[in-house]
Amino acid sequence: MKIQVVAFVVGVFVSTLVFGQKEETVILKTATGNLEGTLTMPDAKLPVPVALIIAGSGPTDRNGNNAIMTNNSLKMLAGALAVKGIASLRYDKRGIDKSQAAGLSESELRFEMYIKDAVGWAHLLRENPNFSQVVIIGHSEGSLIGMVASLDDEVDKFVSIAGAGESGDKIIREQLKAQPQAILEQTNPILDSLVVGKTVAKVNPMLYSLFRPSVQPYLISWFKYDPKIEIAKLKKPVLIVQGTSDLQVSVDDADRLQAAKPDAKLVVIEGMNHVLKDVGDDRTKNIQSYNQPDLPLNQKLVEAISSFIVAK
């Protein structure tokens, strides 16, 4: 299957050399501005496998960080994969950090744009003779983006890390369950309307941050995608990874994905949290880890992903 992609041009510039791993800045030019990523190359005989790492929701950058948390989870993942002889490209999504120029107004942004960007990066990697295969790794919301992008013929394998097992509207409904009944009576009709593609003109000011008119088109585009349906479409190897100490995504989510694609490999890692660190059952340690950039990455995660990528 080929996914329609916006036209792009690419430029590569060598920037750093760390512990035998060469890092390069890569630019993907799209119709609405440049996206920037970091290509990490291992010290290994070419060609090598390459992984496209897609970050989660919100203002999360290519390294897994944002303005209020620095954990370097995705940067560490890239380095760990390089040690295993696997290249990777991680990037700032449109509107984030060095890809700020490609950001659109909130009312113009659609979930499909993130998917097309991921496909554009995958095509760029496929054209490079240094790479033997292209694997997409999606973390959190990046799992759904990567899942749909992996339908493209240029992608060989897909890895979901902490990916939700339900569509966005169901996630929001679950998050709102703890709210008073009066709130639910107002939010449920709005969600029902957005699910069928209809915006809502009148929104209670109390709910404006979640359902403001400018964000409703994006929510409509996001709600279209049920990860259980999307993962079932993949006719290629799939790895699903989930930590038991994840405060945002549960093992139940991973079970739903695996049930939708029974031939996918499921790896549940005891004590790993949402930012891919070892925290056990200690909630305080879990929360603190979101701002501990030197806390090591979970090694079982690295082993699971690297062995999956190199397997024939």
What's the one-letter identity of residue 63?
N
Q: Give the integer Cα–Cα distance in Å for 136 and 146.
A: 6
- The helix (H) or strand (E) run that includes residue 204 is none
Pairing of strands 21-30, 10-18: antiparallel
Whether pLDDT at 141 is above 90: yes
- Give pLDDT tens digits for 34-84: 999 999 999 999 999 999 999 999 899 999 999 999 999 999 999 999 999
The sign one gets for the Cα dihedral 122, 92, 227, 136 is: positive
Whether pLDDT at 210 is above 80: yes
pLDDT band at 178 (very low <50, low <70, confident <90, very high): confident
CA angle 300, 303, 307 (to 5 degrees): 145
Whether pLDDT at 11 is above 80: no
Whether pLDDT at 100 is above 60: yes
What pLDDT does residue 93 have? 97
Residue 263 structure tokens: 């031939």
| Mean pLDDT score, 198-222 | 95
| Mean pLDDT score, 124-139 | 97
| DSSP-assigned beta bridge partners for residue 118 | none
The DSSP output letter for 229 is H
Q: What rounded mean pLDDT belongs to the chain?
A: 93
| Mean pLDDT score, 224-234 | 98
13 burial level (CB within 10 Å; 0-12, 13-18, 19+): exposed
What pLDDT does residue 239 have? 98
Torsion of CA 85, 47, 73, 121, to 10 degrees: -170
What pLDDT does residue 21 have? 77
- Give pLDDT tens digits for 113-122: 999 999 999 9
Whether pLDDT at 16 is above 50: no
What pLDDT does residue 7 have? 35
Contact (CB, 8 A) for 246 and 274? yes
Is residue 306 helix, strand or coil? helix
Helices marked H in 166-250: 168-176, 181-195, 208-211, 216-223, 227-232
What pLDDT does residue 4 have? 43
What pLDDT does residue 1 have? 55
Whether pLDDT at 299 is above 80: yes
pLDDT band at 312 (very low <50, low <70, confident <90, very high): confident
- Give pLDDT tens digits for 259-270: 999 999 999 999
Torsion of CA 279, 283, 284, 285, to 10 degrees: 0
Q: CA 274 → CA 67, 96, 107, 123, 164, distances in Å?
A: 17, 20, 29, 29, 12
pLDDT band at 15 (very low <50, low <70, confident <90, very high): very low
